[in-house]
């Protein structure tokens, strides 16, 4: 029994040894075929691996030129490509831009284009296949300034260059946004930077390489030009800003004065981007064109005209402007009341050399019925009504009424005055506050001398008259000094 077990065990070992030491099996040839096919597969995989076909080189160029750095790749569909500057700074990774430099662009075939080359581009640029082999090619860039010719006709050595201006392309902003415009230059000696906006010099930014606008408005729209200048020449580049904003309206704040039967015209100036739609209202009623009412547009100006104005046309008119960013409106009164009086230069009365004489005029299509003149000493709160009648004169020139008023017994010092007028349609607005001098003998005499000199030039007044006024002036000063 023991002998039988031993025989079986030895037979098992023998079979194992045959397999372990290479005795051919019945299907061993088929296995060899499979192994050969696997080898074929490996060869095919190697033939499909990406490979850089381009060769790096040394490139010499001049400032302002553009250069192309090819990186042609076989089996590019399997490639992950990276461009670097100076061996360390990523520029592009698998087609995605890593460095914010607008002068660097990449084609679909992984060629790196460098535009407007300058000395700042004197780096090695490497194209690398990212993988086990990390295949790499390198371009070495040299930027060489042109030399001065023997005749001296050209002098490009050290020429100023505006390398770039940011934003590089036209940029659209919303009103109120912050915007910085920067300009990078080089040259030898270092160029001086100057700026213009829409052709106008921006002297406050001369010598600075950037403009910062805290909150853009419509006035910031337009072309900005950066100019670099040194003794060797000049170079410029430009960029442009567009600002979008809701409508802004400009219209007079004063009532528009017109007579019955005359043509009325209201002007509404609208600034907006995008363009606004403009409509008109009288009170709460929207106006439409009729045989008497016309609406016209000329650039930013919108006109509302009413022919043969009647009393019923008087009232408040509103200009409404709307775009997709907002709405703006402004109103003005069309009126038969007098216009806002306007003061002329003050002088001094012929009757009393130290009494100031104030003159004003007012527009009115109806006769002036009444004036109200208020005055006060400067830095005093209460206004005083000037008595009219004595010392008041008036003249009429068509629809312009001219009045003057003498102010007697005023103390020395500065005074304020304002006036309003009334006709059958009511009171006008008060005039702007006018400042004049009170009882001031010195200033009065100076005024008389100037008037006499002017009359002498125009009407031949004798020098004796001027001398007489001068003598009175000196005596007045002496008396005033003795009374102090």
Q: What is the pLDDT of residue 483?
A: 44
Look at 63-72, 165-174, 367-376, 403-412 and tell me which has the smallest mean pLDDT. 403-412
**Cis check: omega of the bond before 274, within 30 degrees of 0:** yes
Q: Pick from 215, 245, 275: which residue ends a domain?
A: 245
Q: What is the pLDDT of residue 81?
A: 93
Q: What is the pLDDT of residue 220?
A: 96
Q: What is the pLDDT of residue 149?
A: 46
Rounded Cα distance, 72 and 62, in Å: 25
Q: Are residues 238 and 306 in the same domain?
A: no
Mean pLDDT, rounded, of the chain: 81
Query: Is 7 a member of any domain?
Result: no
402-426: average pLDDT: 89
* Residue 391, Ramachandran bin (φ over 0: left; ψ between -120 and 50: alpha; else beta): left
C-beta neighbour count of 356 within 10 angstroms = 25
Q: Are residues 351 and 412 in the same domain?
A: yes
Q: Are residues 327 and 354 in the same domain?
A: no
Is residue 217 predicted with pLDDT exceeding 60? yes
Query: Is 154 a member of any domain?
Result: no
Q: What is the pLDDT of residue 63?
A: 81
Q: Are residues 428 and 411 in the same domain?
A: yes
Query: What residue numbers bound the domain in which 269 lies?
Result: 252-335
Q: Are residues 330 and 347 in the same domain?
A: no
Is residue 448 predicted with pLDDT exceeding 90? no
Rounded Cα distance, 97 and 186, in Å: 25
Q: What is the pLDDT of residue 20?
A: 35
Q: How confident is the model at residue 426 (pLDDT cuts 50, 70, 90)?
A: very high
Query: Is 481 a member of any domain?
Result: no
Q: Are residues 173 and 113 in the same domain?
A: no
Q: How confident is the model at residue 375 (pLDDT cuts 50, 70, 90)?
A: very high
Q: Pick from 335, 357, 386: which residue ends a domain?
A: 335
The b/e string for 161-188 (b: 16+ C-beta within 10 A; e otherwise) is: bbbbbbbeeebebebeeebebebbbbbe
Q: Are residues 134 and 176 in the same domain?
A: no
Query: Is 468 a member of any domain?
Result: no
Q: Are residues 234 and 275 in the same domain?
A: no
pLDDT in tens, 10-49: 334 444 334 333 334 444 444 444 333 444 444 445 558 8
Query: Is 178 a member of any domain?
Result: yes
- CATH number of domain containing 124: 2.60.40.10
Number of domains in the chain: 4
Q: Pick from 335, 370, 388: which residue ends a domain?
A: 335
Task: Give the percent of the chain with pLDDT over 90.
Answer: 55
Q: What is the pLDDT of residue 48?
A: 82
Return the higher-pLDDT residue of 408 and 347. Answer: 408
Query: Is 83 a member of any domain?
Result: yes
Q: Are residues 170 and 90 in the same domain?
A: no
Q: How confident is the model at residue 6 (pLDDT cuts 50, 70, 90)?
A: very low
Q: Are residues 359 and 431 in the same domain?
A: yes
**Cis check: omega of the bond before 189, within 30 degrees of 0:** yes
Q: What is the pLDDT of residue 1?
A: 45
Query: Is 464 a member of any domain?
Result: no
Whether residue 350 contacts residue 269, with contact meaning beta carbons closer than 8 Å, is answered with no
Return the higher-pLDDT residue of 370 and 269. Answer: 269
Q: Are residues 294 and 363 in the same domain?
A: no
Q: Are residues 435 and 348 in the same domain?
A: yes
Q: What is the pLDDT of residue 46?
A: 54
Q: What's the gap between Cα 130 and its chain centre?
A: 46
What does the block give as tokens for 363? 């527009």
Query: Is 456 a member of any domain?
Result: no
């Amino acid at each position: 029994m023991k002998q039988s077990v031993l025989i079986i065990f030895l037979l098992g070992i023998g079979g194992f040894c045959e397999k372990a030491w290479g005795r051919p099996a019945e299907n061993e040839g088929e296995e060899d075929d499979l192994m050969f096919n696997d080898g074929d597969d490996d060869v095919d995989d190697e033939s499909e691996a990406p490979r850089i076909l381009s060769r790096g080189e040394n490139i010499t160029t001049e400032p302002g030129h553009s250069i192309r750095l090819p990186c042609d790749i076989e089996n590019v569909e399997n490639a992950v490509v990276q461009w670097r500057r100076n061996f360390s700074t990523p520029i592009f990774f698998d087609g995605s831009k890593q460095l914010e430099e607008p002068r660097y662009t990449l084609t679909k075939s992984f060629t790196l284009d460098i535009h407007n080359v300058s000395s700042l581009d004197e780096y090695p640029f490497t194209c690398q296949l990212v993988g086990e082999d990390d295949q790499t090619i390198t371009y070495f860039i040299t930027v060489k300034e042109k030399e001065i010719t023997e005749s001296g006709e050209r002098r490009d050595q050290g020429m100023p260059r505006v390398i770039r201006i940011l934003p590089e392309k036209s940029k659209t902003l919303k009103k109120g946004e912050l915007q910085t415009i920067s300009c990078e230059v080089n040259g030898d000696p270092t160029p001086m930077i100057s700026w213009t906006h829409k052709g106008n010099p921006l002297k406050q930014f001369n010598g600075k390489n950037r403009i910062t606008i805290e909150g853009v408005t419509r006035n910031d729209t337009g072309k900005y030009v950066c100019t670099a200048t040194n003794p060797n020449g000049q170079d410029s580049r430009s960029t442009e800003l567009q600002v979008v904003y809701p409508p802004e309206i400009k219209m007079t704040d004063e009532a528009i004065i017109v007579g019955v039967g005359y043509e009325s015209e209201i002007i509404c100036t609208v600034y907006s981007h995008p363009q606004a739609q403009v409509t008109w209202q009288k009170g709460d009623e929207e106006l439409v064109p009729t045989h008497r009412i016309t609406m016209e547009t000329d650039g930013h100006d919108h006109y509302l005209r009413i022919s043969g104005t009647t009393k019923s046309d008087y009232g408040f008119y509103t200009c409404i402007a709307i775009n997709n960013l907002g709405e703006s409106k402004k109103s003005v009164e069309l009126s038969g009341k007098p216009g806002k009086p306007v003061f002329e230069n003050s002088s001094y009365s012929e009757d009393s050399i130290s009494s100031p004489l104030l003159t004003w005029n007012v527009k009115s299509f109806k006769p002036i019925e009444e004036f109200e003149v208020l005055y006060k000493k400067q830095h005093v709160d209460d206004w005083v009504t000037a008595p009219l009648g004595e010392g008041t004169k008036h003249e009429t020139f068509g629809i312009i009424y001219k009045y003057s008023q003498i102010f007697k017994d005023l103390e020395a010092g500065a005074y304020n005055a304002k006036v309003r007028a009334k006709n059958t349609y009511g009171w006008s607005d008060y005039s702007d506050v006018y400042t004049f001098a009170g009882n001031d003998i010195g200033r009065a005499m100076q005024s008389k001398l100037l008037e006499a000199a002017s009359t002498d030039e125009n009407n031949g007044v004798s020098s004796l008259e001027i001398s007489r006024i001068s003598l009175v002036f000196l005596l007045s000063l002496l008396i005033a000094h003795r009374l102090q």
